[in-house]
Structures are given as structure tokens and as C-alpha cells.
Amino acid sequence: MHKFDYSESPRKLLTTDVVNIIASLHEFKGKQEFNLVSKGNVLSSLLDIAKIQSTKSSNRIEGIYTSDERLVELVVKKSEPHNRSEQEIAGYREVLATIHESYEYIPIKSNSILQLHRDLYAFSASEIGGSFKNTDNVILETSNDGKDYVRFTPVPAFQTPDAINELCRSFNEAISRGEYDPLILIPMYVLDFLCIHPFNDGNGRISRLLTLLLLYRAGYIVGKYISLEMLIEKTKQSYYDVLKTCSVGWHDNHNDYLPFVKYYLGIVLKAYRELENRMQYMNKTKFSKPERVKSVFDKKLGSISKADIVAQCPDISITTIERTLKDLLDLGYIKKIGAGRGTTYIKQ
């Protein structure tokens, strides 16, 4: 069985690249408190849209969809779920809210993980919520010829409770010792959790929720305002590639955590940089809202979708964005590409 080594293994991960990323994250964390006090209005706007993006992206990664309109209604609790997908989306919304509001009071232990999983399925008729897997599972991958094959075999069902208990114990002891930065330990924990694969369903979503919980408890709360789940979805192939690479030899303690650690810390760094850019952008009060929409095209090469503009200007209504796009098209400032949901725009 895998040994959860948080005393020696982290030392091997302190490469120049990783140390540089951690140093940058420390700088962003240092600015965090000032931004929370001085830019509350801006952050409040970002918080609302991040909830929607996080719920949408984390479920989409697992193939769980609904329309954008229904998603917003579910996240803001204006509607009850209509089907199984919407039940799981509503469950994610609930767990995300719990972590946002109570992360300081959620200990990293087996019972907490089971409760989060239970709440993930709070709207579902399924009875799997809040229980570890009762049958062995495998992680499948589809080859180029369309055939499924076993990519990884997780911990057997009968060993799962002990594995989760040992994972949490080892992680908590390492945090208490303070020998290594939590930013090194958190991606290791997430990878180990995914290799255990403790549930019949919901492992990926719980892993991303645990990522937020662990980062918040370590003082890195960027995930409240910039969706880490959305950044993972945008780099989904890289996510799966590093997960595959770093799970090889896991059972025999020969796996390499480094690619996964670099990927995860890179996601957090990207989020902090995006947060800083958006706050600077939204603080340009001398710009009117149409001018801010126009400036999106001035700052970015290539095609831009309406969703891209919404993400960069979360405080600007869809109506204003659409009106501005029409005006820019009429002026010949931008050009429309495609139609329907695939519509994008480029600067002329």
C-alpha cells in the first residue's frame, strides 16, 4: 500500500521553478489583506461571477451540463433542479458555499470529507452521498481507436477508509510541523486523494472542492474571486496528462509528484495574476462601461467571445456588452466570426 510521505518526499519538489512560483504566491498573498479592505466592492462583483464559473466548470469537466440560464438560476437559488445533472450542480453549489463561509471550521479529516460528499448529493435520489465506495473502481481512458482501457487502478474499496485516514493524518502532521510550505503539501494531498479515488462517483469534484478548502485554510483565498475550476477546465488536457504521469508507480511509492505540483501551483498563480488584472481594470473608473468593453479588444490579440468579455468585466451587464458589441460592429471596429453560441469577434 502507498505510504503517504510528507516528511521526505516534499524536499525533492523544491526545484528552482517551484520555489520561484511559491515566492510569487507569497507576494500575492501579502497584497491580499489590503485588497480585501480597500477594494471590497470590486471583489464582491468578482465573487458572484466566480461562484457561477466554478460550479459550471467543475461539473462540465465531469460531463455534467445544463444551459447557462438554468445554471445561473440554480447558483443564485432562484430555481429548483429539474433533472439529475441539475441536482448535482445544485449540490456543488451548496458545498462550495459551505467552504467559502466556513473553511476555518472544517478540519481535514475523514468525517469532513464524507460530509462534503454527502452534501454534494443532497439533491439527488442516489444513496451514494456520504459513503466511501463499496466496490473496487478503475480509471479508464479511451484510446484513439475508441476502445477503453484501464489507466489506473485505485486503492481497493476495503482499504479506502484506512487510506483516507492515513492521508489526512500524514498531511495534518506535516502542516503542524511547518517544515514545508503548505503550497508544496496541498498538491501532493490532492494527487494522493485522486489516486485513492475513495468514492463511487464525485471524486474529481470533491478533489477540486478540497483544493479550495486547503488553499483557504493556508490563507490563499484567490479561488473565491477567480474560479480555479474554470482555469483547470481550460487546461483540462494538461490536467489529465500530469495526473496520468504522476500516478505511475504510485502504489509502490515510485511516482513523481513534481509535474502535478507545478501544474497546480501554476493554476493558483494564474488566478492571482488574473485577479490583479481584473481589479486594476475595474478600478479605471474614468472609463465608461462601453469604453471598458472596447478596451478588451485593445489588450488582446485574436478572437474574443462574449463569455471572455463577461469574465473580464463581471460588473457590466450582458445588455450593455451586447449593445456595445453592436456599436463596435456598426463602426467597423470589430468583425464578427461565426454564428450562434460559437460567435466570436476580432479587432479590425
pLDDT of residue 113: 98
289-347: CATH, from 3.40.1190.20, 3.30.70.100, 2.40.440.10, 1.10.10.10: 1.10.10.10
In sequence order, what DSSP letters do the residues of 162-195 get, joined into one string?
HHHHHHHHHHHHHHHHT-S-HHHHHHHHHHHHHH
Contact call for residues 344 and 338 (beta carbons, < 8 A): yes
In sequence order, what DSSP letters do the residues of 224-281 get, joined into one string?
GTS-HHHHHHHTHHHHHHHHHHHHTTTTTT----HHHHHHHHHHHHHHHHHHHHHHHH
The 10s digit of each residue's pLDDT in 96-120 is 999 999 999 999 999 999 999 999 9
pLDDT at 209 over 60: yes
Do the domains at 9-282 and 289-347 have one common CATH topology?
Answer: no
Question: Higher-confidence residue: 13 or 281?
Answer: 13
Question: Crossing angle for the helix pair 16-38 and 40-61, nearest 10 degrees?
Answer: 130
pLDDT of residue 339: 82
pTM of the model: 0.84
| Type of residue numbered 235 | T
pLDDT of residue 250: 97
The 10s digit of each residue's pLDDT in 142-154 is 777 778 888 899 9
Contact call for residues 108 and 170 (beta carbons, < 8 A): no
How does residue 87 score in pLDDT terms, banded at 50, 70 and 90? Answer: very high
pLDDT of residue 301: 74
Report the 10 Å Cβ neighbour count for 263: 20
Contact call for residues 128 and 193 (beta carbons, < 8 A): no
pLDDT of residue 283: 62
Mean pLDDT, residues 190-205: 97
How does residue 37 score in pLDDT terms, banded at 50, 70 and 90? Answer: low
Question: Higher-confidence residue: 307 or 24?
Answer: 24
The 10s digit of each residue's pLDDT in 304-340 is 888 888 777 766 888 888 899 988 888 888 888 888 8
Question: Higher-confidence residue: 319 or 300?
Answer: 319
Mean pLDDT, residues 68-74: 87
pLDDT at 33 over 70: yes
CA max distance for the chain: 66
Mean pLDDT, residues 281-298: 74
Helix (H) or strand (E) segment spanning residue 141: strand 139-142
Residue 204's φ and ψ, nearest 5 degrees, are: -65, -45
Cα–Cα distance, 206 to 116 (Å, whole number)? 8
pLDDT of residue 79: 83
Cα–Cα distance, 264 to 262 (Å, whole number)? 6
What are the residue ranges spanned by the domains of the chain? 9-282, 289-347
Question: Higher-confidence residue: 48 or 233?
Answer: 233
| Domain range 9-282, CATH class | mainly alpha
pLDDT of residue 281: 66
pLDDT at 285 over 60: no
Mean pLDDT, residues 293-297: 84
For the chain, the average pLDDT equals 90
Candidate from 12-26, 61-75, 169-183, 199-213 with smallest mean pLDDT: 61-75
Question: Crossing angle for the helix pair 318-331 and 289-299, nearest 10 degrees?
Answer: 60
Mean pLDDT, residues 124-136: 92
